[in-house]
Structure 1
Amino acid sequence: MNHTAALVSLATSIPPYQFHQKQILQAAHDLLADRYPQFETLSSLFANTGIRHRYGVKPIEWYLERRGWPERTQAFLEGAESLFVDVARKAIARADLSAGDIDTVVTVCSTGIATPTLEARVAGKLGLRSDVSRVPVFGLGCAGGVSGLSIASRLAQARPGTNVLLVALELCTLAVRHDELTKANIVAASLFGDGAAAIILRAGDGGATRIEATGEKLWPDTLDIMGWSVDPEGFGVIFQRTIPDFVAEHFGPAVIEMLSRMKLSAGDIDRFICHPGGTKVIAALERALSLDQGTLDHEREVIADYGNMSAPTVLFVLERAIVRGLPARSLLTALGPGFTASCVALRHAA
Structure 2
Amino acid sequence: MHHAAALLSLATAIPPHQFHQARVLEAAREVLAPRYPQFDTLASLFANTGIRHRYGVMPMEWYLERRGWPERTKAYLDGAEALFVDVARNALEQADLAASDIDTVVTVSSTGIATPTLEARVAKQMGFRGDISRVPVFGLGCAGGVSGLSIASRLAQARPGSNVLLVTFELCTLAVRHDELTKANIVAISLFGDGAAAAVLRAGDGGATQIEATGEKLWPDTLDVMGWSVDPEGFGVIFQRTIPDFVTEHMGPAVAEILARMELTRSEVDRFVCHPGGSKVISALERALSLDQGTLDHERDVIADYGNMSAPTVLFVLERARRAGLPARSLLTALGPGFTASCVSLRHAA
Confirm or deny a common fold (TM above 0.5).
Answer: yes
Residue 290 of structure 1 aligns with an amino acid whose one-letter code is S
* 1:50 aligned residue: 50
- Cα distance in 2, alignment partners of residues 240 and 195 from structure 1: 23
* 1:59 aligned residue: 59
- Cα distance in 2, alignment partners of residues 86 and 218 from structure 1: 33
SS in 1 for 2:34: coil
In angstroms, what is the RMSD of aligned CA positions? 0.7
- Cα distance in 1, alignment partners of residues 2 and 265 from structure 2: 23
* Residue 153 of structure 2 is aligned to residue 153 of structure 1: yes
Q: Write the mapping of 1:11-90 to structure 2, written as runs, cut at 5 A.
A: 11-90=11-90
SS in 1 for 2:35: coil
* 1:340 aligned residue: 340
Residue 233 of structure 1 aligns with an amino acid whose one-letter code is E
Residues 14 and 196 of structure 1 are in contact (CA less than 8 Å); yes or no, is this contact kept in structure 2?
Answer: yes
* 1:300 aligned residue: 300
- Cα distance in 2, alignment partners of residues 273 and 114 from structure 1: 30
Residues 2 and 203 of structure 1 are in contact (CA less than 8 Å); yes or no, is this contact kept in structure 2?
Answer: no
Deviation of 1:307 after TM superposition, in Å, equals 0.2
Deviation of 1:100 after TM superposition, in Å, equals 0.3
* 2:197 aligned residue: 197
* 1:131 aligned residue: 131
Q: Write the mapping of 1:107-146 to structure 2, written as runs, cut at 5 A.
A: 107-146=107-146
Give a deviation string over 1:33-71, Cα, whole Å, max 9, x none: 111000000000000000000000000000000000000
Residue 37 of structure 2 aligns with an amino acid whose one-letter code is P
SS in 2 for 1:34: helix
Residue 240 of structure 1 aligns with an amino acid whose one-letter code is Q
* 2:227 aligned residue: 227
Moved >2 Å (runs of 4+)? none
Deviation of 1:239 after TM superposition, in Å, equals 1.4
* 2:312 aligned residue: 312
Residue 115 of structure 2 aligns with an amino acid whose one-letter code is T
* 2:264 aligned residue: 264
Residues 45 and 190 of structure 1 are in contact (CA less than 8 Å); yes or no, is this contact kept in structure 2?
Answer: yes
Residues 13 and 196 of structure 1 are in contact (CA less than 8 Å); yes or no, is this contact kept in structure 2?
Answer: yes
- Cα distance in 1, alignment partners of residues 53 and 328 from structure 2: 33
- Cα distance in 1, alignment partners of residues 348 and 240 from structure 2: 38
- Cα distance in 2, alignment partners of residues 335 and 173 from structure 1: 20
- Cα distance in 1, alignment partners of residues 237 and 203 from structure 2: 38
- When residues 241 and 222 of structure 1 are mapped into structure 2, their CA distance, relative to the original with a 3 A threshold, is farther
SS in 2 for 1:124: helix
- Cα distance in 1, alignment partners of residues 71 and 145 from structure 2: 27
Residue 236 of structure 1 aligns with an amino acid whose one-letter code is G
Farther-moved stretch of structure 1 (207-216 vs 2-11): 2-11
Q: Flag structure 1 segments of 5+ consecutive residues without an equivalent.
A: none
Identity %: 83
Farther-moved stretch of structure 1 (19-28 vs 237-246): 237-246
Residues 224 and 241 of structure 1 are in contact (CA less than 8 Å); yes or no, is this contact kept in structure 2?
Answer: no
Residue 256 of structure 2 aligns with an amino acid whose one-letter code is I
- Cα distance in 2, alignment partners of residues 42 and 100 from structure 1: 50
Give a deviation string over 1:295-328, Cα, whole Å, max 9, x none: 0000000000000000000000000000000000
Q: Flag structure 2 segments of 5+ consecutive residues without an equivalent.
A: none
- Cα distance in 2, alignment partners of residues 115 and 293 from structure 1: 44
* 2:101 aligned residue: 101
Deviation of 1:241 after TM superposition, in Å, equals 5.0
Deviation of 1:206 after TM superposition, in Å, equals 2.0
Paired residues, number: 350
Q: TM-score, normalised by structure 1?
A: 0.99
* 1:215 aligned residue: 215
* 1:253 aligned residue: 253
Deviation of 1:285 after TM superposition, in Å, equals 0.2
Residue 41 of structure 1 aligns with an amino acid whose one-letter code is T
- Cα distance in 1, alignment partners of residues 65 and 347 from structure 2: 48
Residues 17 and 57 of structure 1 are in contact (CA less than 8 Å); yes or no, is this contact kept in structure 2?
Answer: yes
- Cα distance in 2, alignment partners of residues 307 and 320 from structure 1: 15
Deviation of 1:2 after TM superposition, in Å, equals 6.2
- Cα distance in 1, alignment partners of residues 135 and 2 from structure 2: 24
